[in-house]
Amino acid sequence: MGKYVVTGSASGMGLAVADKLRAEGHDVIGVDLKDADVTADLSTADGRARAIRELLAALDGVLDGAVFAAGVGPRRGNERTTVEVNVLGTTELLTALRPKLAAAGNAKVVVFGSNSTTSTPFVPRRAISLLDEGNTERATKILRRRGPLSGPAAYAASKLALSRWVRRAAASPEFAGAGVRVNIIAPGPVLTPLLKAQLEGASGNQVRSLPVPVREHGTPEQLAQWVMVMLSPAADFMVGSVVTVDGGTEALLRTKDWPSPMPLKRVPKMLNGLRQAKGKGQVADYSDA
């Protein structure tokens, strides 16, 4: 049996994942604001540092995997907390845990993204870039200019920045090259306490207006099953993938956008990146095969 870290373990999809791991006999270290093995506020630098210290102290051996499910939903006036938790609450902890994951030899990591990354309009690109750099303060200022749309824009921007960071890190020598498989699961509307509160609140009509072709919301248990597959040997050849589980919303809204061919203007950059990767031994050279 293995040892896993699960953030957001006290409720929703994080709790469902932690329960499934424990039911299979794994040792789980949960991280959350309360009711967890490690209690910490991931919206603050001090809280994230505390979580990292306590996790590293609790991990006396290797770490077989991690699931980053902690997140804050879209709410106007809460933009800074949203981006801090959703971006830095994962990137800082995952970076700190990387050596423990690498020591396992074949660790799996699942990061919770969102289908909001492909279904939310009016997300400022500059804010995404700033969040990708870890600059939450300047990004928040830009996002708040969206007025009534600042909450959804902040949420989508945070998940976009996180997904880009994860995909970049996933294929790097530090992760894939060290045997750590990192992937993203992108849920649509799932009946967590967060979604239930939104449905019952002022934004209920807006949430219900999102088209879901299967005409029902997902459940935390369904998403947890997907995570278990992504933590299993079935994911040995899976790196930097985004698995969308949203009842068909993205397929309905973005039917022709993805997959898409490589734009010609990107080819020189792609070839240069490939040459650099081969030079560093990051990818295998099959030219003589």
HSE, side-chain direction, 13 A CA sphere, residue 195: 16
Question: 224: Cβ–Cβ under 8 A, 6 or more apart, which residues?
Answer: 13, 16, 17, 19, 20
Task: Name which of 161, 132, 157 is nearest 146 in CA terms.
Answer: 157
Examine the residue annotation and report whether 155 is marked as an active-site residue of this protein: yes
CB 115 within 8 A of CB 188: yes
Options 4, 68, 112, 155, the catalytic residue:
155
Task: Name which of 186, 282, 203, 285 is nearest 241 in CA terms.
Answer: 186
Q: Give, in order, the Cα–Cα distances in Å from 28 to each of 15, 108, 208.
A: 11, 14, 35
Q: Give, in order, the Cα–Cα distances in Å from 148 to each of 75, 128, 143, 151.
A: 9, 18, 10, 7
- Known catalytic residues are 155
